[in-house]
Amino acid sequence: MRLPLIQFIVITLCGFSTFAQQHPIAYNTVADYSFIKEALSKTPLLNESFGGLKQSVDAFIGKDIDVPVPKDLAGGYTHERHKENYTIMFNSSVLYQITGEAKYAEIVKKLFLKYAKLNPTLKNHPLGSNPNPGRLFFQPLNDANWLVYTGLAFDGIYNYLTPEERKQIADGAFKPEVDYFTNDLEPWFGWIHNHAVWSCAGVGIVGIATDNKDYVDMALYGKHKDGKSGLLANLDGLLSPDGYYTEGPYYTRYAILPFYLFANAFQHYKPELKVFNRRNNVLQKAFTNALQQTDIIGQFYSYNDALKEKNFTCNEMVEVLDMVWGTFGADSSLLPVARMQKRVALSRGGASIAKALNRTGEKGKNVSYPYKSIELTDGAKGDEGGLSILRTGKGDNLVSLIYKYSAHGLSHGHFDKLNINLYDGKNEILSDYGAVRYISIEQKSGGKYLPESKTYSKQTIAHNTLVVDEKSDFDGDEEESQKYHPAKLFSNVSSGNVQVVCAEDDKAYEGVKMQRSIYMVNIPGHEKPLVVDLFNALSNTSHQYDLPFQYQGTFIKTNFKYTSSNNAQATLGKKNGYQHIWKEAEAVLTNKPLTQFTFLNDKSFYTISSITDDSTHILFTRTGANDPNFNLRREPAYIIRKKGVNQTFVNAVEIHGVYNANAENAKGSYSAVNKMEILQNDANYSVVSIVFDGKPLLIIQRNSNFNQHAENEVIVNNKKYSFTGNYTVLYNDSTIK
Amino acid sequence: MRLPLIQFIVITLCGFSTFAQQHPIAYNTVADYSFIKEALSKTPLLNESFGGLKQSVDAFIGKDIDVPVPKDLAGGYTHERHKENYTIMFNSSVLYQITGEAKYAEIVKKLFLKYAKLNPTLKNHPLGSNPNPGRLFFQPLNDANWLVYTGLAFDGIYNYLTPEERKQIADGAFKPEVDYFTNDLEPWFGWIHNHAVWSCAGVGIVGIATDNKDYVDMALYGKHKDGKSGLLANLDGLLSPDGYYTEGPYYTRYAILPFYLFANAFQHYKPELKVFNRRNNVLQKAFTNALQQTDIIGQFYSYNDALKEKNFTCNEMVEVLDMVWGTFGADSSLLPVARMQKRVALSRGGASIAKALNRTGEKGKNVSYPYKSIELTDGAKGDEGGLSILRTGKGDNLVSLIYKYSAHGLSHGHFDKLNINLYDGKNEILSDYGAVRYISIEQKSGGKYLPESKTYSKQTIAHNTLVVDEKSDFDGDEEESQKYHPAKLFSNVSSGNVQVVCAEDDKAYEGVKMQRSIYMVNIPGHEKPLVVDLFNALSNTSHQYDLPFQYQGTFIKTNFKYTSSNNAQATLGKKNGYQHIWKEAEAVLTNKPLTQFTFLNDKSFYTISSITDDSTHILFTRTGANDPNFNLRREPAYIIRKKGVNQTFVNAVEIHGVYNANAENAKGSYSAVNKMEILQNDANYSVVSIVFDGKPLLIIQRNSNFNQHAENEVIVNNKKYSFTGNYTVLYNDSTIK
């Protein structure tokens, strides 16, 4: 079954540039395939992955696979057929290289020859998306996917094809697509955007596979080969120096795959380019940070446009993880992820990580990915705000709070300046809606983004941050939002027991300066942390301020009275997302300094304790209004509404107790917060006092001239507190460190 | 560490009857303990279970455990303290017997002496439930639990106590509780009801433990020892000959535990009573059928009052399963359940099943409990209707349909005559709300049944069966409903590919005769079954008929237009559960013979296809109206509304396709039902034709003189069909068998 290691030189034919290349090279080299074949029989997970691939392809061997004229949206026949075709072609080319069996090359060749006939006849897809329609698919992104995988497939069966067949495929199957991208869709091809990464990777890989230097250069440096667009410009422009991808982790997953596929191909083709090492290994950082932006079951954090069903066991992450292992070397922290993926790519890295898993065996089973607190900058230069993830606890008890003060995030960004999300173990507690979309379901507009994505889930009210006057940040203007970003004032996520991030924004709402400080405090004697959220809104004019908490859970109890919408209910507002929210109940608080709401999620209770005043209203809402196609999930929110010139929201989010309905057991179902007070809140300092479990928790924070070496003396209740830096936190008069 | 097997005779003191007894006897005998001790070191699961018990008790050793004056509801301090106390006492008595260490007996004794002081002082609980308040707890049921476990605990440390201590405890701790039950709460003690089973078991076990024949006789034969009440009357009256417990599986779990605990104690104490063999081992049948009434992850079916969080890994089922094994002998079908329970009781059966699991080892891991189609009669004599579970598929692909034509189900019954529920794998698809209750959560009325249980979840509209004129069965009168039951007309759940149950009811709605036939058909070439639901309502007067489908899932698509409640929504009605339902959308169908609605749940699509006419309205609803305490889950329903004298509802419920959002893959998301027609529907026959995947599916059913040997000749579309029995089903003109 082993292939002879034939090496030969092909003199390229007319229409191709005149350099020669050994194949395969684009996905695995000859040496890589030797390594994989050597490992195969001795490495169960590799063998299973190989078996899975073989089974998926064998089902089509000997069949006449359809290459239909494009007609449908995602989920429809022609869309799914073409998608499956490029998958079969790529997989079968890999099987051909591993097994040497001609049938695997033959099936790829036959499909290629059909595409070589079909593609020159194609016009824009009849249901093409505007302004950039696809050809084989309704959107060109899918065409770009097709190009990447068929490019790799061509390279894999290169040696099986005659020169005439190669030319027929290059001219018939590939050229119309490449020409379409680089001519008809030139601006799209020239974007700095994940779509462009895919299309450039497609053109580049086809260039390598067909020995076409023109394609390779357009892919690397843009249509005009001036470096203003193309893969390298995207690599420099899309990722921050930390490897943060501005569209968020759901799209990082998607955007890094073509980066890796092309970087891997170039590593073989032109190692001197050192794509993997560009910008201090920024691609490696992007991958690591994508993993750090998942919950403990591997689901990507759902901010920006995201589908909650996606996790790090998806194909993209399997492929990339294995390339990371193969490229940057063994890293045992990745083994728990590979174990959860339950399969490997048939690449050098995949074979290598499968061997490592084999060596680790049973004893690695209870190890989890080493999640930790991290801070990431946004922007190509790292100067456009960022994101902090505050974490505490281990394994199933990991608590993660995401504080987002990043730039907008291109077309998949939301109006969510200074937003927070909270995860407790595997559960999303203060949630982000993500995108309104049912991917791949034809009946739901072919899997496209649905209108409610724009009208609801992108809007500020769909998040856990301040909404001023029922408008979204930048009044929902994406272009405007894209120009600005908040600024981090100070932070410390390295300390064990007090983690803090403070950021401000004065652009999202004209004339309103917002400053939000998030403290995650491990209080001695308490297993779970307390989150203290200090949110100041400063303005010269009067506004309505809404601070929503999108809580996931079951309403348990409030410590205040409210009025329910019993027989009829109406929307909370008319636009900016408010039209999608039903008002289920409302409370007008008077003389209620401490307002508490407790809910239950899975096995824990959660209480939001708030300092409120006579201007405060509380709203209980639920999504689902003005949703004629039932696209929205019905999700509750708890909204604190205040009116005035300046307003301060102080909230403590508490995780407490244990609930086990199966054992009929509820412990600690009551909050430990007994009292909350603002003792000072001015341009110099904010001082908040919380009586927690009967003892005082005191937070003192500078509000100007932030400096971690600053010396402070603050008098609180006639007592002097001295500290160095931007903040101090004391519990029962002892500093928490 | 082994106890000397001391046997001695105690001459009982005044106040006790004059028979003598060896102890321990109530939970395990001396021989049982020898068996357990012998197995302990060699049987990991037994050892872990022992370790878990030891750890839970050791945490209290040397501490002064509080026995507070009762004050709180469930979830509150005093309630949870007393609950934990009796658990510690029982567990510690078992540990004493196994280890021989005095500290385990001492902790029990100390608690007993505190109860001996407290109990004589108790009046009715300050928050006692009406009309039957408890003493240590708000409801006497919890006092009965206390009596059962402390009775077992007393027996376990009997030999550790001095005669004086025994008397002090018997008189102080036990007698006030027994007297309270048998005197103050005499009618409650005399019920035929699970509460009475617990209280009688408590009195009986205390009788055995304290050598008090009077208690034993009252427990067995009732307060007046005439056999009209007491444990044996309950055993004869509560279970049907099949072992079906009329309150449903959630309560079977709860009711069989005291039956087993008392039967086990009597097996040791008076083996000649043969309690376990009474009524052809009805207790064994009750347990087996409780298991059969769970989904594949062990959750009890949620009809009647049920909490969905309860599954067969709860304490009650661990205890009973192990007793079943110990009493009726090894039964390998129980091993998968024991494996999921992950622990065993420290009983002879528990030790024995742990040994069996040890022997089976890894190879049993992928075996699941052998779920099968079953039919159960209701009523002490088995003549009060019943319940059928139609099943097809294996493992994760098990599809289960529950058709309920049972009696009311006592105080935990719902108004759900001729109801169906559907489960696909681990997912509830056509659901039953269960009870509105947050067990053990003090803030939710102390874990009691909440008002919405009565006003919503018991009502007919909360189910998947016909509602006439917006009223519940028997107009919601429980006493009236308790008098009647539907009748099964014919059924066959043993055939592989067509399972059918037909039942009728003419009492639930005055002047309306309802007949519902459910067919579960495996259509050749299709992996999942098609459910065809033929529901006839016959009356002499005009009515509004609502047939709701409580679907669990995400709305995907309808094949008809509807009008949504966009900016405002109102309740669907004013009472009988309708006041809790929001109307989200409504359709008035005209000239629409085939109406289809598709939803998604997890990885499958589901389509309800319906024959509709010009009288038909469709309603999309969601629970949550008039719910001031946010007690209700927000759940959707799809309601088919027809008006007229007689009406027929023909619905096909189809499971189709595969969805994987992580892999971005949707296959088979469209229904295969192309057309549906009623070709005949009269007193003689119903004939339904469904074009499924392009080929005709024909169902012909007799409607009178049901007889499995009846010969039929029916002309359909000029073609003669002959068959024997009550029905025939053909696909593409071939009979499906």
Tell whether B311 is within 8 A of chain A (Cβ).
yes
Q: Are residues B557 and B523 in the same domain?
A: yes
How many domains would you assign to chain A?
A: 3
A300, A664, A670, best to mutate vs chain B, most B CBs in 10 Å: A664
CA distance B614 to B82: 62
Tell whether A56 is within 8 A of chain B (Cβ).
no
Binned at pLDDT 50, 70 and 90, residue A20 comes out as low
> Is residue A69 within 8 Å of residue A126, measured between CB atoms?
no
CA distance A313 to A290: 12
Measured between CA atoms, how close is B627 to chain A, in angstroms? 7
Note whether residue B94 is domain-resident.
yes
Tell whether A665 is within 8 A of chain B (Cβ).
yes
pLDDT higher than threshold 50 for residue B4: no
Provide the token pair at B674: 């192309």
- Cβ contact, residue pair A664, B439, below 8 Å: yes
How buried is residue B634: exposed, middle or buried, by Cβ count under 10 Å (0-12/13-18/19+)?
middle
Q: Are residues A513 and A431 in the same domain?
A: yes
CA distance B258 to B500: 36
Looking at residue A608, its pLDDT comes to: 98
Query: What pLDDT digit, counting tens, does each position of B273-299 carry?
Result: 999 999 999 999 999 999 999 999 999
Note whether residue A214 is domain-resident.
yes
Binned at pLDDT 50, 70 and 90, residue A130 comes out as confident
Q: How many CB atoms lie within 10 A of CB A712?
A: 17
- Cβ contact, residue pair B659, A440, below 8 Å: yes
> Is residue A693 within 8 Å of residue A685, measured between CB atoms?
no
> In sequence order, which residues have a C-beta less than 8 Å from that of residue A636 and are 6 or more positions away?
A550, A551, A555, A584, A620, A621, A622
Q: Are residues A229 and A309 in the same domain?
A: no
**3-class secondary structure, B100:** coil
Note whether residue B295 is domain-resident.
yes
- Cβ contact, residue pair B444, A556, below 8 Å: yes
CA distance A436 to A627: 11
Tell whether B662 is within 8 A of chain A (Cβ).
yes
Residue type, position B700, single letter: I
Q: Are residues A351 and A414 in the same domain?
A: no
Residue written as tokens 């068929």?
A: A150
Q: Are residues A328 and A393 in the same domain?
A: no
Looking at residue A491, its pLDDT comes to: 98
Query: Average pLDDT, stretch B34-56?
Result: 97
Q: Are residues A301 and A322 in the same domain?
A: yes
A714 alpha carbon, distance to own chain's centre: 42
Provide the token pair at A9: 């030189």
Of the three residues A317, A349, A370, the one that is the final residue of a domain is A370
B342, B578, B662, best to mutate vs chain A, most A CBs in 10 Å: B662
Note whether residue A268 is domain-resident.
no
Q: Are residues A101 and A59 in the same domain?
A: yes
Interface of A with B in 95-124 (CB under 8 A): none
* Chain A residues lying within 8 Å of B442, measured CB to CB: 666, 669
pLDDT higher than threshold 90 for residue B614: no
Measure Cα distances from B3 to B34, B108, B163, B349 in Å. 9, 18, 20, 21
Scanning A41-101, the segments in alpha helix (DSSP H) are 44-58, 77-99
Measured between CA atoms, how close is B84 to chain A, in angstroms? 10
Binned at pLDDT 50, 70 and 90, residue B254 comes out as very high
Interface of A with B in 552-581 (CB under 8 A): 554-557, 564, 566-571, 579
* Chain B residues lying within 8 Å of A662, measured CB to CB: 309-311, 313-314
Q: How many CB atoms lie within 10 A of CB A123?
A: 9
DSSP A126: T
Measured between CA atoms, how close is B134 to chain A, in angstroms? 19
- Cβ contact, residue pair B566, A625, below 8 Å: yes
Query: What pLDDT digit, counting tens, does each position of A21-61 carry?
Result: 799 999 999 999 999 999 999 999 999 999 999 999 999 99
Of A314, A447, A670, which is closest to B662 when you measure between CB atoms? Answer: A314
Q: Which residues of B are catalytic?
A: 251, 412
Provide the token pair at B467: 């509602």
Element at A356 (helix H, strand E): helix A348-360
Q: Please name the residue of chain B whose CA is at the shortest distance from the CA of residue A667.
A: B75
Looking at residue A277, its pLDDT comes to: 97
CA distance B436 to B412: 12
Q: Are residues B180 and B250 in the same domain?
A: no
Q: Are residues A451 and A528 in the same domain?
A: yes
Residue written as tokens 């009726």?
A: B328
Note whether residue A266 is domain-resident.
no
Query: What pLDDT digit, counting tens, does each position of A532-581 carry?
Result: 999 999 999 999 999 999 999 999 999 999 999 999 999 999 999 999 99
Of A75, A570, A630, which is closest to B669 when you measure between CB atoms? Answer: A75
> Is residue B571 within 8 Å of residue B582, measured between CB atoms?
yes
Looking at residue B394, its pLDDT comes to: 92
DSSP A286: H
Domain that holds residue A361: 241-246+277-370
**3-class secondary structure, B299:** strand
Of A310, A582, A664, which is closest to B440 when you measure between CB atoms? Answer: A664
Measured between CA atoms, how close is A153 to chain B, in angstroms? 20
Distance in angstroms between the alpha carbons of the first and the last residue of chain B: 63
DSSP B449: B
- Cβ contact, residue pair A556, B309, below 8 Å: no
> In sequence order, which residues have a C-beta less than 8 Å from that of residue A23 and are 6 or more positions away?
A10, A155, A156, A158, A159, A209
Query: What pLDDT digit, counting tens, does each position of A168-189 carry?
Result: 999 999 999 999 999 999 999 9
Q: How many CB atoms lie within 10 A of CB A527?
A: 13
- Cβ contact, residue pair B554, A75, below 8 Å: no
CA distance B298 to B369: 9
* Chain B residues lying within 8 Å of A620, measured CB to CB: 630
- One DSSP character per residue, B207-219 reads HHHTT-HHHHHHH
Of the three residues A333, A353, A370, the one that is the final residue of a domain is A370
Note whether residue A76 is domain-resident.
yes
- Cβ contact, residue pair B626, A566, below 8 Å: yes
Of the three residues B679, B710, B730, the one that is the final residue of a domain is B679
Provide the token pair at B197: 């089973």
Note whether residue A270 is domain-resident.
no
**3-class secondary structure, A306:** coil
> Is residue A646 within 8 Å of residue A695, measured between CB atoms?
no
**3-class secondary structure, B712:** strand
Tell whether A606 is within 8 A of chain B (Cβ).
no
Q: Determine which one of A96, A115, A244, A251 is catalytic.
A: A251
Interface of A with B in 75-94 (CB under 8 A): 75, 80
Q: Determine which one of A193, A412, A463, A580 is catalytic.
A: A412
> Is residue B289 within 8 Å of residue B376, measured between CB atoms?
yes
Query: Average pLDDT, stretch A108-118?
Result: 98
Element at B452 (helix H, strand E): helix B451-452
Rg (CA), chain A: 28
**3-class secondary structure, B274:** coil
- Cβ contact, residue pair B567, A569, below 8 Å: no
- One DSSP character per residue, A468-530 reads ETTB-GGGG-HHHHHH---EEEEEE--SSSEEEEEEEESSSSTTEEEEEEEEEE--TT-SS-E
CA angle A633, A637, A641 (to 5 degrees): 145
pLDDT higher than threshold 90 for residue B11: no
Active site residue A23: no
Interface of A with B in 426-445 (CB under 8 A): 438-444
CA distance A156 to A138: 28
Percent of chain B with pLDDT over 70: 97
Q: Are strands B673-681 and A374-377 parallel, antiparallel or unpaired?
A: unpaired
- Cβ contact, residue pair B600, A438, below 8 Å: yes
Q: Tell me the three-class secondary structure of B104-153, residue by residue.
A: HHHHHHHHHHHHHHHHHHCCCCCCCCCCCCCCCCCCHHHHHHHHHHHHHH
- Taking each helix axis from N to C end, the angle separating B348-360 and B315-328, rounded to the nearest 10 degrees, works out to 90
> Is residue A370 within 8 Å of residue A343, measured between CB atoms?
no
Residue whose C-alpha is closest to residue B369's, from B287, B491, B250, B469: B287
> In sequence order, which residues have a C-beta less than 8 Å from that of residue A447 and are 6 or more positions away?
A73, A74, A75, A437, A438, A439, A440, A441, B664, B666
CA distance B356 to B541: 63
Q: How many CB pairs below 8 A link A and B?
A: 139
Q: Are residues B19 and B168 in the same domain?
A: yes
Provide the token pair at A570: 């109406």
Query: Average pLDDT, stretch A438-461?
Result: 96
Query: Average pLDDT, stretch B66-74?
Result: 95
Name the E strands within B524-588. Answer: 530-539, 543-549, 554-558, 563-564, 568-570, 581-588
Measured between CA atoms, how close is A638 to chain B, in angstroms? 13
pLDDT higher than threshold 70 for residue B478: yes
Of B440, B556, B659, which is closest to A665 when you measure between CB atoms? Answer: B440
> In sequence order, which residues have a C-beta less than 8 Å from that of residue A666 and are 6 or more positions away?
A657, A658, A659, A660, B75, B80, B440, B441, B442, B447
CATH number at residue A704: 2.70.98.70
Q: Please name the residue of chain A whose CA is at the shortest distance from the CA of residue B622.
A: A634
Is the peptide bond between A24 and the residue preceding it cis, with omega within 30 degrees of 0? yes
Tell whether B638 is within 8 A of chain A (Cβ).
no
CATH number at residue B254: 1.50.10.100
pLDDT higher than threshold 50 for residue A7: no
Measured between CA atoms, how close is A87 to chain B, in angstroms? 12
Partners of A468 in the beta sheet? A471, A545
Interface of B with A in 518-557 (CB under 8 A): 554-557
Binned at pLDDT 50, 70 and 90, residue B20 comes out as low
pLDDT higher than threshold 90 for residue A227: yes
Query: Average pLDDT, stretch A368-387?
Result: 97
* Chain B residues lying within 8 Å of A628, measured CB to CB: 564, 566, 585
CA distance A237 to A244: 11
Residue written as tokens 């009586």?
A: A691
- Cβ contact, residue pair B569, A568, below 8 Å: yes
Note whether residue A233 is domain-resident.
yes
Binned at pLDDT 50, 70 and 90, residue A18 comes out as very low
CA angle A379, A383, A387 (to 5 degrees): 70
Binned at pLDDT 50, 70 and 90, residue A591 comes out as confident
Measure Cα distances from A255 to A239, B672, B717 in Å. 10, 37, 60
Tell whether B582 is within 8 A of chain A (Cβ).
yes
pLDDT higher than threshold 50 for residue B500: yes
Burial B534-561 (b: 16+ CB within 10 A, else e): bbbbbbeeebbbbbbbbbbbbbbbbebe
B441, B444, B607, B670, best to mutate vs chain A, most A CBs in 10 Å: B441
Q: Are residues A471 and A527 in the same domain?
A: yes
Q: Are residues B366 and B399 in the same domain?
A: no
* Chain B residues lying within 8 Å of A670, measured CB to CB: 443
A498 alpha carbon, distance to own chain's centre: 27
Looking at residue B591, its pLDDT comes to: 74
- Cβ contact, residue pair A628, B442, below 8 Å: no
Q: Please name the residue of chain B whose CA is at the shortest distance from the CA of residue A579.
A: B567
- Cβ contact, residue pair B669, A628, below 8 Å: no
CA distance A274 to A407: 29
> Is residue B506 within 8 Å of residue B493, measured between CB atoms?
no
Tell whether A52 is within 8 A of chain B (Cβ).
no
Element at A354 (helix H, strand E): helix A348-360
* Chain B residues lying within 8 Å of A564, measured CB to CB: 626-628
Tell whether B314 is within 8 A of chain A (Cβ).
yes
